[in-house]
Each structure stands twice: as structure tokens, then as C-alpha cells.
Structure 1
Amino acid sequence: MEPIDNTHIFREHIPFLQGNVQIVPIDKGYSSDKKYKVVKDNQTYLLRSFNSKHYQEKQFEYDALMKMKEYKVKCSRPLHMGSIREHGVGYMLLTFIEGNDASEELPIYSSNEQYNIGLEAGIELLKIHQYKAQDPISSWYDRKAKKHKRYIEEYYKMDVRVKNDFRIMSFIDDNLQLMKNRPNLFQHDDFHVGNLIIKDKELSGVIDFNRYDWGDPVHEFLKVGMFSAEVSIPFSIGQIMGYHDNQDPTELFWKLYSLYLAMCIISSVVWILKVKPEETAIMMDKINRVLDDHSYFEHEKPKWFKI
């Protein structure tokens, strides 16, 4: 297991970090990775460390960042990856994205500025989705339907339930077939204002690719409804429009968007009770806001999407 105070281990085993180097822990986010801001020769870097048993999947994350570089996505560039076997620690060294979280910056900007940053975010997400699965992978429908079934089983065991949840369940059941034959593209899988960095009123970069997955690109947008719209509606509209080349999204997009949001409501209840039970009230507020946005999914397009 990775030790709690491991900066001395990094200095000892990673040549790049030897000498006059500042290593400062970054405590934000829910990632299981340990993150550090590294300053050397007036240059700033990001060091991510993880349990070395996850090295293979982290190698893919590193390779995916190489692919993002090829696609010119605004995100950290991978510099080096390795492991310190005697301590069970793996690590990757990346370039550092300068700026502040979009969740903190957007509220102090004008609506037009928020919208324009959203446009940039949508364009970057579209670049990310150029990456197609190379190896044979089971269908999105099979994987997502199985995962949803597991969440439903867990949900019914929980002490907390969503009011009138039968309406949500019915909507999901009526639309599950829409997931059939959807593409298997690379998903950031946590693309929202908490993982976007802004500097000088422009999008500086996308961070935290560690939850990557493969599947329907529309699935990425549920984070707009759950998280980003709560912070900035202009940004959220901008992201959707930027992704769609400033065209109104198709009816199929909205059907899938609302389906994934509905499924996310169920999984979010399970997740929060298992992982962050102290934040249950916060999560339920988010869920109730989404339900209001869609009138319990009588409407597939959220009330706030007005162009």
C-alpha cells in the first residue's frame, strides 16, 4: 500500500524530483490517485501516484493522454511513467494545467463569457471522442444494461429512496433499447466544471482522465445535467452547442441524454450512500433539481436549455 507521507520516497527514487524541487499535495477531488504539484526550475508539473497493482490500467490512461496530445486536446501532456516496486507505488509525471477550476471561476463571469467557455469545452470534448476502441470490446448496450441492473438491485436495498421513483424506473425501461448499436468511443467519463480549468477567461484545459471508459459519447453529457448546469446554465448550453457545431442537437441526442440522466439518478443514490454518506442531502438536492428540470422525464430536453 502507498504510504501516507511519500514525498521522500519520490525524491529518492525518481531522478527528476531530486535536488531543489518543491512537491505540494493537491487535496481536491474524489480520485483515489494522490496528486502533487511539482515546481522545478520555475516550471510546474503534475505528479500522480497510485497503487502499483493498478499499473496496467494506468498505463492505458497514460497512453490515452498520448492520444489526446495527437488530437491536440487541451489537457496535461504525459512526460514519464514508472513504478517504485519496493513501496508498491506507481506514478506518472505530467505537464501542469495552470488556472482555476471552472466551478469557481464561471460564477464571476458574464453570461456571454460563460457561454463562450462552454463552446470551447464542447469543442474539446468532440476532439476527445475521436478516439475509437481498437481492441474488441463488448457492446455498450450489454455493459451499460448489466451495470444498471446491478445498481437497481443495490438501490432497492438502500434506506434512502427518490420520491416517486417508479416514474423514473418506467422511463428507463421504456428507453433502454435506445442504447443498442451505439458507438464505443473513448469517454473521459467525468467531464464537468469541476474537471475543467480556466485561465484569463478561456478554457485552459481538461483534467482527471483517470475515470476513462469506452461507450456512447452522449453519456458524457449527463454530467452537464447533474453538475455543470447547477454552476452555470450559459456554460452548459455552450458546451452542448459547441459539441454540435452550433446546431440544435437531434431528438435522439435528447432521448439518450435524458435516459442516461435517469439512470444516473439511481446509481448516484447508491454511490453516495456507499462512498460519501455525509453528502447524501447534497446529492438528493441535485437529483431533485434534475427531476424538476425534466418534470420527472415527461420532457427529454431540460427546462434550462433555451437558445
Structure 2
Amino acid sequence: MAGDRDYFIQVEPQVRAISGPARVSRINRGYSFEQKYLLEGEDNTRFLLRIASTPHPAHRERKIAEYEMLQRLMEYSSLVPKARSFGTTPDGALCFMILSYFYGSDGEEVLGMFNEKEQYHLGVRAGEELKNSILCMLLLHNRLGMTRSGQRPHGKLQESLTQDSDCRG
């Protein structure tokens, strides 16, 4: 967490304008430095609110790029949260994303309930999903005409991108 300061207070008016009346619960789990909240509407719809400190324009640009990538990746996988909204505080010091909320149990808590073989198969499935997501991200960059380094992909990477049938679009 980014200190003890509660960032929700600073983005609350913007979030409420988007989400409407919602119960707000802080989520104190996970490995990111962002503050996370569960928004639960009157109709029991749930959303994940992520708030990040963006003290420098470069941080803000990375968060915008992350949000845009989530928007694109959700076309390729049902395991990517739907990117609903993005905003910043007027001074740009904080940004927030509202994402769809996945119901279920925390994997860290329940993984030990599975035997070794089941854990292995879950890991393989997660790896396949991650591989597909990475290939889809690379495909999106390829369609924009560049890789992260600013150069066009070539060789086996280009072959994987053009032959991957899991990446629609």
C-alpha cells in the first residue's frame, strides 16, 4: 500500500458520479502498491476500484496504457476484467480504474486445498492463459507496427503472432 493515506476520499466524487450509490469496502490483499476497493451497488453488482499514486506524468501515462491494454485484452479472454472507467484527480496526482469484479475465492487461500496434480493442472492452465494474453498483446503491438523496442517483430515471434488463432481482431 502507498502509506496509510486513504486515496478513496480524493476520488470519491468522481467514482460516485460513475458508479452511483455503492457500498465501499477496502481490499487489503494483493501484491500491488495500489489501493483497492470493492464497490457494491444496490443491485448487488460489484466492481473493483484500483487507485494509484501518479506523481509524475510518466506514471500516469503507464496507467493509461495499462487501462487501454485491459480494454483490448478483454476481447481475447474471459479471464481479463472488463475495463469500465478511468479517471484522474484534477491535479493528476492520483488515477483510478473501475474494473469488473470476478467472484470467487482467493487463489492464495484455496490452492492448498487441491492435491499436487490438480495444482499442476491449474498452473498449466494459468500459464496457457498468460501465454495467450502475451501473444495477443504482441499481436496488438504488431498491428500498430512495432514491438516494445519500437521495431517490427520478426522470425519466430512474427510467425507466432500471425498463426495464433486464439487472438481475434
1:20-59 equivalences in 2 (<5 Å): 21-40=22-41, 41-52=43-54, 53=56, 54-59=59-64
Q: CA RMSD of the aligned region, Å? A: 2.8
**1:26, 1:56 → 2: CA distance?**
25
Q: Percent identity?
A: 25
More helix by share: 1
Q: Distance in 1 between matches of 2:78 and 2:117?
A: 23
Going from structure 1 to structure 2, the CA distance change for 1:87 and 1:128 (only over 3 Å counts) comes to: closer
TM-score of the pair, normalised by structure 2: 0.70
Structure 1 segment 58-207 matched on structure 2, within 5 A: 58-86=63-91, 88-130=93-135, 131-132=137-138, 133-134=141-142, 135-138=146-149
TM-score (norm 1): 0.41
Three-state SS of the structure 2 residue aligned to 1:67 is helix
Whichever residue aligns with residue 63 of structure 1, its letter is E
Query: Which consecutive segments of 4 or more residues in structure 1 shift more than 3 A?
Result: 133-139, 181-184
- Matched-pair contact (CA < 8 Å) for 2:36–2:50: yes
Deviations along 1:79-107, whole A, 9 cap, x unmatched? 11111124722111000122222222121
Deviations 1:86-136 (A, max 9, x none): 472211100012222222212112334323322321221121122214435
Show the counterpart of 1:279: none
Which residue in 1 is equivalent to 2:166? none
Distance 1:31 1:182, change over 3 A: farther
Whole-Å separation in 2 of the counterparts to 1:71 and 1:87:
31
Cα separation, partners in 2 of 1:28 and 1:3, compared to 1, 3 Å: closer
Partner-residue secondary structure (3-state), 2:48:
strand
Amino acid at match of 1:129: I
Alpha-carbon deviation of 1:182?
Answer: 8.6
Name the CA distance, whole Å, in 2 between partners of 1:98 and 1:73: 13
Kept in 1, the 8 Å contact 2:7–2:51? The answer is no
Stretches of structure 1 lacking an aligned partner (at least 5 in a row): 140-180, 185-307
SS in structure 2 at match of 1:85:
coil
* Structure 1 residue aligned with 2:14: 13
Gaps of 5+ in 2: 159-169
Q: For this pair of structures, how many residues does the alignment match?
A: 142
